[in-house]
Amino acid sequence: MRSGALADSAFDVADAYVIAAYTRCAYLQKQLEIQHPQLVKYFSARYLELTYEAAAKTKKSSKEMTILKAMDEKEVFAYTRELFAFGLENWFKDHNKCFMLYDGKS
């Protein structure tokens, strides 16, 4: 609980900054998905190729492979679209200076 002291307002500013940075990244992620829907299709196809190749090499069926085989095409695409969105979100977090702490250099 914040008391209204000057230090509390610094937390409010920091909270607003983090929320704004995340909102900006979420917006850019959504625009990328809307303007370049082929990226999701390419990712989905390649992810499935690699998954099937890995299963063939190990000659074992993973839990994920078993679940994928039980899904219909729409469910598989929805699943891989979620993986793409998750990966994209993590990429933005790793490569966006908004989320990096200032190291005092420069």
Domain ranges of the chain: 6-99
Enter the pTM of the model: 0.67
48 φ/ψ angles, rounded to the nearest 5 degrees: -65, -40
Sole residue written with tokens 């090499």: 57
Q: Provide the pLDDT for residue 55.
A: 86
Instruction: Render pLDDT for 45-73 as a digit per residue (tens, 0 to 9).
Output: 999 999 989 888 888 778 888 899 999 99
59 φ/ψ angles, rounded to the nearest 5 degrees: 60, 25
3-state helix, strand, coil split of the chain in percent (to 5) is 80, 0, 20
